[in-house]
Amino acid sequence: MTLTEVRRAAPDAVVARGLTKVYGEGDAAVHALRGVDVTFATEAFTAIMGPSGSGKSTLMHCLAGLDTVSGGSVHIGDVELTGLGDKQLTMLRRERIGFVFQAFNLLPTLTAEQNIRLPLEIAGRQADQVLFDRVIDTVGLGDRLRHKPAELSGGQQQRVAVARALISKPQVIFADEPTGNLDSRSGAEVLAFLRTSVRELGQTIVMVTHDPLAASYADRVVFLHDGLLVSELSQPTPQSVLDTLLTLEA
Amino acid sequence: MLRTTLAGLLAHKLRLLLTSVAIALGVGFIAGTFVLTDTIEAGFSRSFSADADRVDVAVTPGDGGKGEERPTVSPAHLAKVRAVPGVAAAEGLVRGTAALVGKDGKTVGDLPTTGVSIHQGKLNRSTITSGTAPRTGQAVLDENTARIRGFAVGDTISVLDSARKTRSFALVGLFDVGVDQQLAYTGAVGFDPETAREMTGEKGFVELDVLAADGVAPDRLRDAVAAALGKGYEVRTGEQLAADLAAANGANSRLLTVGLLLFGLVAMLVAALVIYNTFTILVAQRAREMALLRCIGATKRQIFGSIVLESAVVGLISSALGLLVGLGLGAGALAVLDAMDVSLPTGTAALAPRTIVIGLVLGLLVTMAAALLPARTATRVAPIAALRTQVEEHTFRTGMVRAIFAGLFLLGGLGATVAGLVMDPGEVALLVVMGGGCLTFLAVVVLGPMIVRPLSAFAGWLPARLFGVPGRLAVANSRRNPKRAATTTIALTIGVTLMTLLSVLTGSIRMTYGSQLDEQFPVDFVLATQEGDSTMPHSIAAELRSRPELASVVQIRGAEARLGEDRVDAGAFEGPFDVTTVSGSMRGFTAGSVAMADRLAEERAVKPGDQVALTTPKGGTVALRLVAVYDGSASRIPPLLVPVPAFEEYFGEVGDAQIMVNVADGVAADRARVAVEAAGQAYPTVRLLSSTELRSEFDQAMDSQLMVLAGLLGLAILISLLGIANTLSLSVHERTRESALLRALGLTRPQLRRMLTVEALVLGLIGALVGVTLGVVFGWAAIQTMVADPLFDLPVQQVSSFVVLSGLAGVVAALLPARRAARASIVGSLASG
C-alpha cells in the first residue's frame, strides 16, 4: 500500500506499517517491535494485549508519538508521525491525541475541573461548554469538580483523567493500563465509561492492558507477542481473550 | 550501614554538589578573612621588627598626664642619654606639622603634611628609596606624595614653617614611610634634624633612638638609660618596641577580622538554611529507600546515623574545598590591596593551622547541625511506606505551636523595636532596635510557611497573566510545598534584608546630612584655613567685598574665652548674616550684650535678660546681658557671639576663622570661583570649600562604603541562589512524571522550561519582597535611633533594583534545572519514579 492510498483510506484513526523499535546496539540490542502492521478504526474501542515484555507499551508509545520508531511508519489520521520534530509532535499531541495513564494522571496542584480543562488551556482553545457539560455528566463527577486529586478516590481520579482526554475531542485516545491501579469495582466503572464515550461521543480509543476482563470491554482486541502482532479478536469476551492468551503463552 | 551511606553518596554526587558549593563558599569567606588578616598582621610585625632592629634602646615619653599637647622628650634629656655610659649614639626623632605647598601655590591635601627628622648614619630608620638623605637646605618627600603632587628629585619644593612662612628646599631624595599610618595618611617631608625642629616648631622629640656601644647588651643599656632619665619615660629595647607596636597594630587588624567575620557568619547562616532544605528534600525523596532499609531490619538509630554521617562527609569535603577557596580569596584580596597602593604590608597568603581547624570544624558543625532535623524526620518513615507507590503531597497545616512561637517572636520583636524608638538616639537604642529586628526576622522564619501562599499569589499575579498556562502552573507549583518554599526564600531574604537596610540607612543619612549641610551652609563658598587654629587676614574679606561677582561676604572670627570655669568658643560676625533666634531678639545686640547658641544656653541654664560673666584675655571678666538665644545646630557660627567692636576690645586683633561668600545672581559658578580663588591666592593655607563639593565628597564616601558592604553581602545572596537552584533541581527531579505528563498533554519544551523559570522567578520575588519590607522598616527604625531629627529616604531605584535582580537571579538559578527537565524523554520519565 502506498502513502497516497493510506491517506485516502482516512476512516482509520491510526495506521502503523512495518513498525520496528530497537533499544540499544549490537549484542545488547533489544528488538521490542519487529515489524508490526496494525490499523485502528475510527469510533472504535480497541485493546492491545500481550504478556509482559511483548512490546504492547512500546507500541502504544510509538503510535502516540511519545517515542521514536526505528523503522516503518505511523499515521494519525492523515499525518505521518515518523520524521516529525519534537515541536510538531507536541502540537500533534495537543490537537489530536488524548492520554490516560495507569497512575499519576493528574496535576496535584490543580482541581479536578482545572485538570480536565488543562489540555485546552495548553492549546489555547476554548472549551466546548456543551461537550464539557456532557462529559462531566457522563463521568458523574459534578459535585467533586472543585476537589484536588488528593481528595479523590483512585477511580474518581481515573475518571477525571478520561474526562480530560475527552474534552479536547482528540482523533484518538491512548489509554495505558487505565485500570491497573484500581479495585475491580472502580475499574469496571472506568471501563464502562470508556465504552460509553466510544458509543455515545464517537470517540476512538486504543487501550493497552494485560487484564482479560478489561480487554473484554473493547470492540476488538489485538494480541502482541515478542514484538509481533500475532492474533486478534472481535467482540471479545473475558473467556475468549483468556483462551487466546493461553494459546500464545503455550 | 556505613557502606550503604557511602554508596548512596557516590550514587548521588550531583545532587549534593550545590550543597557543597554553598558550604564551601561560607567556609571560604571565613578562611579568606583569616588568610588576609594573618598575612597583613605578619607583614606588620615583620616590618616593625625590621624597623626596630636598627635601634638598641628607644625612649618614648610616658602618657604625660592630662596635658593638652602631645608629650615629648626634651633636648636636655637627649643630652642626658648621650652621657650614659655604653651609649654609642643617640638621636631624637622630630615630628610635627610642615605643610608642603603644591604646584598651585596651595598647601596639599586635606591635612598639612608631616615634617620628620631624618638622621645620617646608623640611626637612620627611614628607607631612602632614591637620592640621598637630606642635609641643610635639602629635603626628601615620601614616594606617594611626590608621585601624586608631581615632584621629582632635583625639583625645588616649598614648605611652610611653623610661622607659616614659605621656605624653599632642594628635593634630594624620596623615602618610604613603611607601615607608618600617620605619615602615609598626611604625606611626609623629611629634613635633617636641625631643620626639622625649625620647620615644625617642635621643641621636643617624639622618640629617642639609642645605639649601644660594642659589647653592651640592649637590656642592660635600657636599665641604665631608664635610671638616668627617671620617671615619666618609657624605655624599651628595640625588640620590645617592635613587639609592642605589632601588638597595638594587631588590635586594629582584629577589628577588621571581626567585621569581616560577621559577614562570613551571615554567609554561613544562609548556607545552613540551604543545607537544611537540601537534606529535608533528599529525605523526603528517599522515603521509600529508607522504608526499604527499615523493612530489611535497619533500626531508627541506623537511619538517623546514616543521614548524619552523610552530612558529615559532605561537610568535611566541602569545608576542605572552602579552605582552598579561602586561600584564593585571601590572595586575591591581597593582590587587590597591593594594586591599589594601600600602605599595608603584603606577603604570601598562607593557611595558618588555626584557620584550617576553624574552617573544618565550622563547616562540619554547621552542615551536621543543619542535617539533624531532616535526619530525625527520616526516622519517622514507616517501613510500610516502601510499598506505597504514589508520593504523598505535602499538605501544610498551621500548627498551634508554630502560631504561638511566631506570635511570641513577633510581639518581642515589635516590642523591642518600639522600646528602642522611644529611647534617646544612641548606641543602646540602636542595639535594642536591631535586637527587635532579629526577633521579628525569627517570627518571619517561623511564619514563613504560612505567608508563602498569599505572597506567591501576590508575586505571581503578573507572571501568571503574562506567561499563560506555564505561568499559572508555575505559580501553583511555587506554593505546593510551603515549608520548602519558605526555607528556600528565607535564605535569599536574609541577604536582601541586609542590603535594603544598608541602602535605606545610607540614603537617610545622606539626606539628613544634606539638609543639615543646607542649613549650615546657606552659602555658596566658605574660605577657611587648612588647620583649624590659624586665621586669615581681614584683607581677604575686603578684597572679596570689592568683587562685583559676589553678592555678600560674611566674616566670622573666633577666640577662646571662659564662662566661669568652663572654656567656651566665643566669636563675632561681620556682614549680612541672619541668626535664627530661638528666644529673645538680635535687635538689642550692641555693646554689653551677648547671644548664645541654644545648647550652650541650656547647659548654663540662662535665658534672655540674664547676666553672664565672660572672662576674656584683654577685657578681663565682664558682665554681659544675654539678649538672644539662637539655633546653634543650623550654622557654622560659634556658640557665643558678641558684637565686633566688643570682640576686638576683649580679644584684640584676630584674623577671620571663616569667610562665607554668596555669589551674585546670574554669575556662573566657575566665574565666581575664579574670583574667590584670586582673593585667597596669596595665602597658601587658605582653602576654598563649596557646598556642592562638600556634598559630593560626602556622597562619594557613602557610595564607596555602600559598595564594599554590598559586595560582602553579595556572597550571602550568591549562596541563597545556589539554594534556589538546588531546591528547584530537586523539585524537578521529584516531579519528573508530572513534567512528562504535561509534555504528553501538549506542553512544548520551551513552555516546560518557562514554567520552571517562572517558578524560580516567583520564589526569588517572594524572598525579595519580604526582605525589602523588613529592610525598609528596620532601616527606618535604625535611622531614628542613630541621629536626632533624622530624615527618611527610601532609595526607590536601588530597592526596586534589588527586587528585580532577585527575580532575575531566580531565573538564572533555574537555567540548568529547567534545561534538564525539558530534555528528559517523555517515555523514560513516565516509567520512572
Distance set, CA A90 to CA A52, A93, A172 (Å): 29, 5, 15
List A residues 148-167 in contact with B (Cβ-Cβ < 8 A). Answer: 148, 150, 164
The answer to whether A224 touches A230, Cβ cutoff 8 Å, is: yes
Partners of residue A127 in chain B, C-beta under 8 Å? none
Which has more pLDDT, B344 or B541? B541
pLDDT at B617 over 80: yes
Pull the grid cell for residue B20. Answer: 557543597
Kindly state whether A104 is in contact with chain B, defined as any CB-CB distance less than 8 angstroms: yes
In angstroms, the CA A103 to CA A181 distance is 7
Pull the grid cell for residue A193. Answer: 465509561
When mean pLDDT is compared across A33-47, B255-269, B750-764, the lowest value belongs to B255-269
Mean pLDDT for B155-169 is: 87
Count the Cβ atoms, other than its own, within 10 Å of residue B669: 12
Which ipTM did the prediction report? Answer: 0.79
Which among B387, B745, B747 is the top mutation candidate for probing chain A, defined by the most A β-carbons within 10 Å of its own β-carbon? Answer: B745
Structure confidence at residue A45 (pLDDT): 93
> For residue B339, which of B331, B328, B349, B351 has the smallest C-alpha distance?
B331
Distance from the Cα of residue B460 to its chain's centroid: 37
Mean pLDDT for A173-198 is: 88
Chain A residue with minimal CA distance to B475?
Answer: A109
Chain B residue with minimal CA distance to A168?
Answer: B745
pLDDT at A77 over 80: yes
Kindly state whether A129 is in contact with chain B, defined as any CB-CB distance less than 8 angstroms: no
When mean pLDDT is compared across B306-320, B520-534, B561-575, the lowest value belongs to B520-534
The answer to whether the CB atoms of A118 and B469 lie below 8 A apart is: yes
Pull the grid cell for residue B632. Answer: 546653634
Kindly state whether A91 is in contact with chain B, defined as any CB-CB distance less than 8 angstroms: yes
Kindly state whether A87 is in contact with chain B, defined as any CB-CB distance less than 8 angstroms: yes
Structure confidence at residue B385 (pLDDT): 65
> For residue B139, which of B177, B180, B173, B103 has the smallest C-alpha distance?
B173
Structure confidence at residue B88 (pLDDT): 85
In angstroms, the CA B605 to CA B590 distance is 22
Structure confidence at residue B320 (pLDDT): 92
Which has more pLDDT, B690 or B324? B324
Q: Mention every residue, 6+ apart, whose C-beta is less than 8 A from residue B647.
A: B557, B559, B570, B571, B572, B654
Mean pLDDT for B210-216 is: 85
Chain B residue with minimal CA distance to A116?
Answer: B745
Mean pLDDT for A10-30 is: 84
Q: Mention every residue, 6+ apart, whose C-beta is less than 8 A from residue B649.
A: B618, B619
Distance set, CA B500 to CA A2, A228, B417 (Å): 70, 68, 18
In angstroms, the CA B25 to CA B319 distance is 9
Structure confidence at residue B482 (pLDDT): 83
The answer to whether B96 touches B205, Cβ cutoff 8 Å, is: no
Partners of residue A87 in chain B, C-beta under 8 Å? 748-749
Chain B residue with minimal CA distance to A87?
Answer: B748
Partners of residue A118 in chain B, C-beta under 8 Å? 469, 745
In angstroms, the CA B563 to CA B9 distance is 79
> How many Cβ pairs closer than 8 A exist between chain A and B?
74
Q: Mention every residue, 6+ apart, whose C-beta is less than 8 A from residue B641.
A: B570, B571, B572, B573, B579, B589, B594, B595, B596, B630
Rg of chain A in Å (alpha carbons): 18
pLDDT at A207 over 90: yes
Pairing of strands B138-142, B166-176: parallel
Averaged pLDDT of chain B: 82
The answer to whether B814 touches B723, Cβ cutoff 8 Å, is: no
In angstroms, the CA B464 to CA B69 distance is 71
Distance of residue A239 Cα from the nearest chain B Cα, in angstroms: 30
Pull the grid cell for residue B520. Answer: 549650615
| pLDDT-derived band at B135, boundaries 50, 70, 90 | confident
pLDDT at B602 over 80: yes
The answer to whether B489 touches B763, Cβ cutoff 8 Å, is: yes
pLDDT single digits (tens) B352-410: 888 899 999 999 999 999 888 888 888 887 776 665 554 455 555 667 788 888 888 88
Burial class (CB in 10 A: 0-12, 13-18, 19+), B165: exposed
Amino acid, res. B702: M
Kindly state whether B826 is in contact with chain A, defined as any CB-CB distance less than 8 angstroms: yes
- Least CB–CB distance from B744: residue in A66, A86, A150: A66
> For residue B493, which of B563, B436, B550, B445 has the smallest C-alpha distance?
B445
In angstroms, the CA A229 to CA A36 distance is 6
Structure confidence at residue B1 (pLDDT): 62
Please report, rounded to a whole number, the percentage of residues in chain A having pLDDT higher than 70. Answer: 95
Chain A residue with minimal CA distance to B477?
Answer: A109
Burial class (CB in 10 A: 0-12, 13-18, 19+), B141: buried
Which run of H or of E encompasses B750? helix B749-786
The answer to whether the CB atoms of B830 and A101 lie below 8 A apart is: yes
Give the global pTM.
Answer: 0.71
Distance set, CA B348 to CA B42, B75, B243, B328, B331 (Å): 10, 43, 21, 11, 7
pLDDT at B412 over 80: yes
Q: Mention every residue, 6+ apart, whose C-beta is less than 8 A from residue B120.
A: B133, B135, B192
What is the torsional sign of CA B701, B703, B707, B709? positive
The answer to whether the CB atoms of A93 and B745 lie below 8 A apart is: yes
Residue entry with cell 539655633: B631
The answer to whether the CB atoms of A108 and B746 lie below 8 A apart is: no
Chain A residue with minimal CA distance to B737?
Answer: A104
Amino acid, res. B225: V
In angstroms, the CA B198 to CA B191 distance is 10
The answer to whether the CB atoms of A90 and B747 lie below 8 A apart is: yes
> From edge to edge, which strands make up the β-sheet containing B233-237?
B87-93, B207-212, B57-61, B233-237
Structure confidence at residue A91 (pLDDT): 85
When mean pLDDT is compared across A58-67, B2-11, B489-498, B686-695, the lowest value belongs to B2-11
pLDDT at B555 over 50: yes
pLDDT at A222 over 90: yes
Distance of residue A64 Cα from the nearest chain B Cα, in angstroms: 9
